[in-house]
Structure 1
């Protein structure tokens, strides 16, 4: 199997694991089993981060994170006719999902419903008419049709606070030549990259923590919890980078962030990562983003880590049906492998 084929398959398996923020059990079970197969043990902390540590032979410590949660919605009301109303959890938008099957992760059973916006063959007498021409569609305008009674919904363990995600059968990734297209590449592709990185780490100089962080989409809660409790010389988040007209981001090489909406990234750490990339004949591009945050910048903002960086792969349609180049995701793994073998953090 070619490397890009293997990476496509690895990402595909992870995409099919539902993991809305705070309800990440499916992907936890998957990753725990995968690491057991690799002869490595994942630890889970109180914030539900999954962590594997590779002790170093020298000085320094670094955390490399990939968040395992995905954007979603959360049930806010159950109506007498069995319709559910939801609000966003993370950066989700109803028009991105479109009308179609969604899964509701009840405590006893997963049930499916149809995300609905109402009929289009209507006049101004119907409230949804304005969405045809003038008004953006918001979660307040949408509902989930279940055709179940309130009792049946309750028996499934679906309550206020239950998470809603895109229906599993809609999530299967699609191959576009050397690209992968899918929901939740943010951040299942980074999780797949970190699993591959774990296979490669041998005899690091500094202590390396690989952290599959929880609840990133709702404020990097897991990464902040982890960084508060460990003395880290650096934290590097592996992420997506949005391709958009306002950013000069090409899709053919990894991105290193200079800043985002939450913080400046550390220039010395960025310079070191750039040199390590060059040693692998990988050219990085720099970007400054708005409307974006990562485990690294948010942990920096709250004073839980002194130096942070964010390495990312360029992605179209972020927080939607995302598209990214498989070879660039693989290059991110190569850069992080070089980082794991270096003494960069030992010298801070």
Structure 2
């Protein structure tokens, strides 16, 4: 008996989330993606920017359609290693220390991964201690917290921990949690979209036109991978798979209906392409929601603003606690898959 789609999706997302992939240090998830694609008979390659590209030949020749899902996650980057072995980090992408809280993080050294504790200091203090403000006035910030390794500076040097080393939330804290048809986890942005793209690669055999499924690198620090890819290749249409942050300021009402963006911080999306995706949703018996987002960008909007693509769209799944411990409905993820499967076929 075949595995229920949402169970398969949850299992695949769980595997992907456990692959550390802070921007620019994406080797773990690269190995998983390439192995998975090979197992389903889909050829793929990596380019010089770290993107993984799976080309599926279409029935008709002509301009290439690309669908992207970025494979990097937010985290921290080491600024300095103190003489006492404590490590100072700064944001990598849209991360904040209060989201992770005190607890285990992993420092991805050149030779060893070092588990350590993101630390804010003691609570049993008065105004004489700088961390007192966390209890009363301010959230902790990267320049006022530290990572405690209980190792010497020389031991950390031997492990390859240095300025530029990436930090992510500890692996044992990352396993997704399921609540019925909801999934909760760090890094659903954008491991859930990567899972959808992998399942599309398995399912789509003869798209209407040549199709690139692109697992993009370094999106969280400026869509670097997508900009390189779209600069190198002529792409007529680009669809980015993303999260759609739920907030009182946006009219995103359903947890199960995907979201088409009309605008974000980088500019307008193409309404003609949005219309075609909405038509595909109706053909699949699904509904879409629309939103205009602030403080948000995608591979699609950034590439279109740079003049690399003429038409771009962003299809997202509603998510609470974006860039934190995110919660999404598996039904919305399945709907994104069904809409794209219909559109691409």
Query: How many angstroms does 1:305 deviate by?
Result: 1.0
Match of 2:52 among 32, 38, 50: 50
Q: Which runs of 5+ in 1 are unaligned?
A: 342-348
Structure 1 residue 314 corresponds to structure 2 residue 318? yes
Query: Which residue in 2 is equivalent to 1:265?
Result: 269
Tell me the residue number matched to 2:286.
Answer: 282
Other-structure match for 1:105: 108
Does residue 40 of structure 1 match 2:42? yes
CA-to-aligned-CA distance 1:23-53 (integer Å, 9 cap, x gap): 0000001111111111122210000000000
Tell me, yes or no, if structure 1 residue 63 matches structure 2 residue 66: yes
* Distance apart, 1:327 and its partner CA: 1.2
The equivalent of 1:78 in structure 2 is 81
**How far apart are residue 203 of structure 1 and its match?**
1.3
SS at match of 1:339: helix
Paired residue secondary structure (2:310): coil
TM-score of the aligned structures, taking structure 1 as reference length: 0.97
1:164 aligned onto 2:167: yes
Among 133, 139, 143, which residue is 2:142 paired with?
Answer: 139
TM-score in terms of structure 2 length: 0.98
Counterpart of 2:95? 92
SS in 1 for 2:58: coil
1:247 aligns with one of 250, 254, 261 = 250
After TM superposition, the runs of 4+ consecutive aligned structure 1 residues lying more than 6 A away are none
Looking at structure 2, the residues matched to 263 and 44 of structure 1 have their Cα atoms a distance apart, in angstroms, of 29
Root mean square deviation of aligned Cα: 0.7
- The alpha carbon displacement at 1:136 in A equals 2.4
Q: Say which SS state the counterpart of residue 233 (structure 1) adopts.
A: strand
Contact 2:78 2:89 in 1 (8 A): yes
- 8 Å CA contact 2:42, 2:202 repeated in 1: no
Gaps of 5+ in 2: none
SS in 2 for 1:204: coil
Question: Distance in 2 between the 1:4 and 1:204 partners?
Answer: 24
Alignment correspondent of 1:127: 130
**Residue 299 (structure 1) aligned with residue 303 (structure 2):** yes
Post-superposition shift, 1:252?
2.1
Corresponding residue for 2:120? 117
- Contact kept, 8 Å, 2:241 with 2:314, in 1: the verdict is yes
